[in-house]
Structures are given as C-alpha cells and as structure tokens.
A and B are shown apart, each in its own frame.
Chain A
Amino acid sequence: MIPSLTREDLKIIGYNLGRVGNLFSVLMLVPTIVAAAYKEFDIIPHFIAASAVAFILSNLAIYFFHTKNGMELKHAVCVAALVWIFGMLLTAVPLWSTRSTGSYLDANFDTMSGFTTTGLTLIPDIDHLPHSINFFRHYLQFIGGIGIIVVTITVLAKSEMGSVLAFKAEAREEGIRPSVVRTSRMILGIAITFMVLGAVLLAIVGISEGMNVGTSIFDGVAHSMSGFATGGFSTHSQSILFYHSVWYEVVALILIIVGGFNFAFHYTVLSGKRSEVFKNIEIKTFFITLMLSTLIIAAALLFFNVYSSPDTLFRKAFFQAASAHTGTGFATVHPLQMSGVWPNLPQMMIAMIMLLGACANSTCGGIKAIRIGILVKAFFNEIKKTLSPKSAFVREKYHHISDTPLTDTIARGAALIAIGYIFLFFIGTAVTMLYGYGATDSMYDTSSALGNVGLSSGVTSPAMPPGLKVTYIFLMWAGRLEIMAVLALIGFVILALRRGIKR
C-alpha cells in the first residue's frame, strides 16, 4: 500500500524547490549584462525586479519548509516535475513585463517552451525583440537542454543521495562518472565546449556571408545555445532561412545532430573509444530513421513536384528532417509554406519523427532512438522465439556504451514510455481538433509540442485559444520529463486529495 502524504513530505519538496528557485533568480540577472552592453537600459529593471521576486519567494520557501531530512524517490520525482513549473512561472515575468508577449500566459508558454527546449513561440514580433530578451530566451533553452536539475546539482549539490534521485527523475538514467555531481559537471563541460565551438563557427560564417560583425556574433552565440540544446529558438522570425546560406545551415546541422547525441556517448567517444560510433544501437537507430525519413520526405516532395532539383530536395528534406528528428525546430521552410504547399505525406512523416526524438540522456525530447532500437530488437527476438524449437533458448543483447542483455523488463520499460507518448499524442491531437484545426495541422503541432521540437504548421500562434496554450504547455512539460515524473506528481496530488496530509 502506498503510504499517505505527511507534512514532512511537503517540507522536503518545498525546501528543495526553494533551493532551485535561487538558481532561477541568479539566471535572471545574467541578461542584465547583455542589456547593458546593448544599451537597453529600459529592460534592466524588468530583470532585476523579476530576480528579486524569485529571490524572496525561494528564500521564504527555504525558511518555512526548512528540513534536515533528505529526499526519497517520491520527493525527487515531484521536485523534478515541479521545478519546471516553478521555473516557468518565475522566468515568465520579464517576458511579460517587457511586453515581449501578449499576456502572462503567453510568457509562460514561451518559458516552458524554452526550458523544455521545444522552440514553439507566441512572441508576435521576434525581429524587434530586445537583445537581452532574445539572449534570455536562448539561454533558457541552453539551461533546459542540459537539465535544470543537472545545473542545480553542479552548482548547489548538497547530498549525493538526493542528487542521484533527482537526476534520474529528470529523465536522465545514465551516469557517466561514478558520482552524479561529477556526471553533471561533465555534462555541463561537454555542452559548454560545443556551445562555444558552435558560436565561433556560426559567427565566422555570419561575417563571411555579409552580416555585420556584431549581429554575427550575437546570432552565433544565440543559435549555438539553442542549436546544441536542440531548442530551436531563433533571433529571427524566418529562423535559419534568414541567412540564405548553405554554410550556416551546415554548421547548424552539425550542432543539432551533435546536440541530439547521448552525453554518455559523447563522453565515451571523447575518451577515445571511437568504435562506439559504429556499434552503439542508439546512434545506428537514429541515423537509420533519419536517412529513411529524409528519403521519404524527398521522394514525396519530388513526386508532388514541390522541388525538382536533387540538391534542393536533399537540402530542404534533410534539414527539416534533422531538425524534427533531433527535436530542434530550426527551419529553412516557412511554416505557412509547409502547410500550404507541402503535401500531407512529408508533413505526416515530420510529425512522426518529431515524436521519435533523437538520443536519450541528450538535450532532446521524444520517445528516443534507444527505445525504438530496443523495441525493434525485441520485436525480431519474439519472431525468432516463435520460429525456434521449444527447447531453444533465444538470447538477444544490444550495445549501448557496453553490451547489455535485452531482457523483457527493458523491453517493457521502453514500450511503456512509447505507449505513454502515443497516448498523449492522441489526447493532444483530439484537443487541437476540438478547437477547429485540421487533422494534419493538429497532429503536426501536437507532435511538435510533445516531442519538444518547435516546428509549427501555423496552429501555434498568439491567436490560438488559451485552453490550447495550456494544453501545449502540459504536453511540452510531460514530453520533456518522459511522462513518468508527471504521472507520479499527479498520483501525489490525488493521494493528498483523497487521504489528506498527515502530521
């Protein structure tokens, strides 16, 4: 029987939320440096006020919920789930108060989209946003891509036990180093290295493609943060199409694909085990599905005579497929053009790969390639078992960093998460259709929100109904946490409502 909730449970959750809240307060002070550099002095007070409010609320939570007891799994799951809501509510303040969004709800939509590295936006005029707000949006994606808990552990690690539980609850099951604090620091180190490299390359390409130096550097840093985080926010309403540059697309592609890889895979390859590239089930699955989807999209576009030349077909199909599959959301085709001109088949294909996602323990959302690989292996294993004589013992294994036997428990775990995503996909699509949107558009934007992608067929806009905005906020949140943490939190709330909170 599940034990009832106690006040101590709430104190542990509140205390740990307060500690992470302090991190949000500090995060909101960083854009003031950008605001000062670009002489956006009217924006600075917005960030200071929002940061102060976050400081006050977080420290009140720390004081009133102070406890010396550490987290158990149930607390860690709730903290990991609630941290994203708490962070969304706090960091939405500057977006709303600077009138970058039309309402506080829209600001929450954008910050949740930022933290979950989705990339959908309700900002009506991206091209005229202040630099500091634009930096803030991209930087939220970078933090969210690494993981709020990971960042918190790196900065504020107190107890190893609580950290381990929270780390796992944030949809990061694999340890890279023996200690979770070291693992978190390793993740942060890898992310910052790629971010800096990407920023330098994008800035060089920007300058060589005729942009002024200042804009090239700013855009380079911003797109490198949102690119490696597979977030997809852009400093321009046209996204990557703004640059009309094949080289900008190439660097962005490298960044988003690298961002889609598992951090444990990065560490293994960087440690010298190059053969992992060819052996890893997750990497193989990801590239197979990416190439297959690119081929299907290109074939459909050729068949329906949207593009005719092979290089255009490959360039457009591969970029949109890679962006969708890694859950990024950068685009080189205008959303309206896609929904108006592209046929349904490539749109449905993109919706499908948005739901698949890239690698686990990376910066992206979705079902994840490792689970797809495991499910495919388990499927063929079942066929093998059926065809083998009764006395035969069919054993299957897969390689991910090390060889692992494919057990029924592993396959069941992968299937459960996949079913959870598919279930939420149908719910989200049904809700969108109930608001009067077409089936293809509904599937497309639901996939995008749930898979934390950011491509849109036009459903996501400031004019969309508030109920649908809340639905998509929920989908982005549930998708980022791989559903289970959210379901556990809902269970926690139901338990509290049914049995009350004991002393």
Chain B
Amino acid sequence: MKKLAFLIAVVLLLLVPAHAGAESGKALIENSKGFDGKTVTFQGEIIGVMMRGANAWVNVSDNGYAIGIWCSAENAKNISFTGDYTHVGDTVAVSGIFHMACQEHGGDLDIHADNLIVVTRGREVERTPSLPLVGLSAVLMVVAIFTILWLRYRHKEMEKIVPWPVT
C-alpha cells in the first residue's frame, strides 16, 4: 500500500507542471501555524546538503525563502548540484509533512519529506573576468602606486626647504 501511494505521488509530481499546487517558501514560513502538521508540496533550488546517517538535511530555497527538508539519504544522493556562486543548484519538488516547530529537531521549521524529486538538474555557471574591468583595475593600481611614490617624493622635497627665520 505504501509503495502504491509512493508511486502515485511520484507520477503526480512528474505529471503536474513545475509550480502547480506547490506552496511558496514565503507563504509556508509566514503562515507556518496554519500549515503545521499538514502535507505540503514545496519546490525550490537546493542550497545545502548535509548527510546524517540514513537521512539527510537538504536546504531548499524558493526565491530567497529557504526551508530545511529532512529526507532519506537515498533521496539526497540523487542531488547533483548545490546552488552557490558558480553553480545553479538542482530544482527539486518535495512533498511531505510541514512542521512549524519540529519536535524531533529542536523546534526547527522543517518539512519531513515523503518524496523528493529532482525536477531540473543544476549546472555550472561560467564566471569569466570582464577584460575592461581587469584593464581598469590594473591602470588604477599603477596610478595608485605612482601617486604614492610621487607624493612621498614631493613631501620629502618640501621637508628639505628650510623656512626663512623670522626676525
């Protein structure tokens, strides 16, 4: 029975368009009391994975509103990319029980995932230096060094001038 329910959930998650029925991170956090203990669907980008034995914590961000997902290590192993400056993280769809203050996890706001599916694989982001900026920074640094040296020289020259004694 459990297997059948799981299969139905998987099929539904795959068939339904990406955002349909999924609660936004903002709505879940803001109205956490209303969602407490209910089964919710949440979708977002993976921004952190921490393996904890047979389970794992997966932090999923939806437009900057991130929620911790407690899932099986098996589910977490399917994740290929975690979002950071040089990566777009995998987009995952999660369905599970939402906790405003999880008893098992010290009162943290979390979702205990029954199911976690990678909807879109993440990717690496090419970050190449801007050539005009590299040129500008090099010129500015040279100007800075020459300015310092020239000002030091001028200052030393001025120190050599002995003021005419006032009588």
A210–B49 Cα distance when bound, in Å, is 8
Asked whether A426 is an interface residue with its Cβ less than 8 Å from the other chain, the reply is no
Whether A241 pairs with B108 at a CB distance below 8 angstroms is yes
Q: How extensive is the interface on chain B, given as a class?
A: 35 or more
A46–B26 Cα distance when bound, in Å, is 33
Q: A45-B134, A46-B133, A332-B108 are in contact. List 16 more A-B contacts (CB 8 A).
A: A42-B129, A45-B130, A48-B137, A48-B140, A49-B140, A53-B144, A55-B148, A62-B151, A63-B154, A127-B47, A127-B84, A130-B85, A210-B56, A237-B64, A309-B103, A312-B106
- A97-130: contact bitstring with B at CB < 8 Å (1 yes, 0 no)? 0000000000000000000000000001101111
Provide the residues of chain B in CB contact with A128, threshold 8 Å: 83-85
- B132-155: contact bitstring with A at CB < 8 Å (1 yes, 0 no)? 011011101101100110010011
- Which residues of B pack against A, CB within 8 Å? 26, 29-33, 47-52, 56-57, 59, 61, 64-66, 68, 70, 83-86, 100-101, 103, 105-110, 127-130, 133-134, 136-138, 140-141, 143-144, 147-148, 151, 154-155
Contacting residue for A52 out of B64, B128, B137, CB 8 A: B137
Q: Contacts A49-B137, A236-B47; is A315 near B107 (CB within 8 Å)?
A: yes
A308–B64 Cα distance when bound, in Å, is 29
Provide the residues of chain A in CB contact with B70, threshold 8 Å: 244
* Chain A to chain B contacts (Cβ below 8 Å), 19 pairs: A42-B130, A44-B137, A45-B134, A46-B133, A52-B137, A52-B141, A59-B151, A127-B64, A210-B56, A241-B68, A244-B50, A244-B108, A307-B101, A311-B106, A312-B103, A336-B30, A337-B109, A340-B33, A341-B33
Asked whether A288 is an interface residue with its Cβ less than 8 Å from the other chain, the reply is no
- Which residues of A pack against B, CB within 8 Å? 25, 39-42, 44-46, 48-49, 51-53, 55-56, 59-60, 62-63, 66, 124-125, 127-131, 209-211, 236-238, 241-244, 246, 306-307, 309, 311-313, 315-316, 332-334, 336-337, 340-341
Whether A336 pairs with B29 at a CB distance below 8 angstroms is yes
Whether B107 pairs with A312 at a CB distance below 8 angstroms is yes
A381–B109 Cα distance when bound, in Å, is 47
Provide the residues of chain B in CB contact with A341, threshold 8 Å: 32-33, 100
A439–B28 Cα distance when bound, in Å, is 24
Whether A52 pairs with B68 at a CB distance below 8 angstroms is no
Contacting residue for A340 out of B30, B51, B52, CB 8 A: B30
